[in-house]
Amino acid sequence: MQEYLSRLDNALIAFSGGVDSTFLAKVSYDVLGNRVLAVTATSPMHPKSELKEAVELAKKIGLPHLVVEFNDILEIEEFKKNPLNRCYICKSNLFSRFKAIAEEKGFKYILEGTNVDDVSDFRPGRRALKELEILSPLLECGIKKEEIRILSKEMGLPTWGKPSYACLASRIPYGEKITYDKLSMVEKAEEDLKDLGFSGFRVRYHGDVARIELPKEQMETIFEEGIREEVVKRIKDAGFKYVALDLEGYRTGSLNEPHVKVVKNV
């Protein structure tokens, strides 16, 4: 990957502060120095805590860093309808904006952090990246998620053990309109669960019902004395009326499951 990056004149990097983009940004910075610019988009779909972490990480690494607003995504009617290709609509708009920034600031290439393991899941946003000619060095160099974690740990990056993350819109079932209020409910519920010590989970939005997906090893914890009551209280305070625990536990893309035969063709 270092050899791949060394062939680039410069690069703008889509930087979320997650495991993949942080690793990509660090290696890119090691190879290209100040010829890189990390760009983080802030929107209602991304928790404020994630933005804070991204800003702190950029400072720790020494990355030139730019934060851009992407709040108007909720003004795009087709996106708000939450169709099966929601991620395509989002990434097409977001990376078009990144492309405009790159052209304005003289960056020839735009990089993002898709890795080899990502292509096995339903990711309609990949089409937008191809259309806009965005580079995915981790994927193109054949690097897997577990390898990224191992290398990140060796490099001293604090993100090596960070749970995988997806935007808050992924908590809302396809066809259910995406609104600021729904995203805020999910954000508050998930932040509260983090405060209680849970990790690697999701809170899925189903109207009045919050469906919690926990890693299986954390399921027993939620029934400990005082914990269950606190979880229920906090999630109801976030705006939900009912709290449900999914007995299958956390799995990536669970809201894709009812559409599995359809999404393969989108």
Active site residues: 167
CA pseudo-torsion sign 186, 192, 194, 196: negative
Distance, CA of 153 to CA of 79 (rounded, Å):
37
Strand partners, 38: 13, 65
Burial label for 23, CB within 10 Å (0-12, 13-18, 19+), is buried
- Percent of the chain as helix, strand, coil, to the nearest 5: 55, 15, 35
Strand partners, 242: 209
Alpha helical stretches, state H, 7-163: 19-32, 48-61, 77-80, 86-105, 125-131, 137-140, 145-154
Distance, CA of 6 to CA of 167 (rounded, Å):
31
Nearest CA to 120 out of 136, 140, 144, 84 is that of 144
Distance, CA of 156 to CA of 34 (rounded, Å):
20
Distance, CA of 67 to CA of 43 (rounded, Å):
11
- The per-residue DSSP string of 212-262 comes to EE--GGGTGGGGSTTHHHHHHHHHHHTT-SEEEE-TT---TTGGGGGGHHH
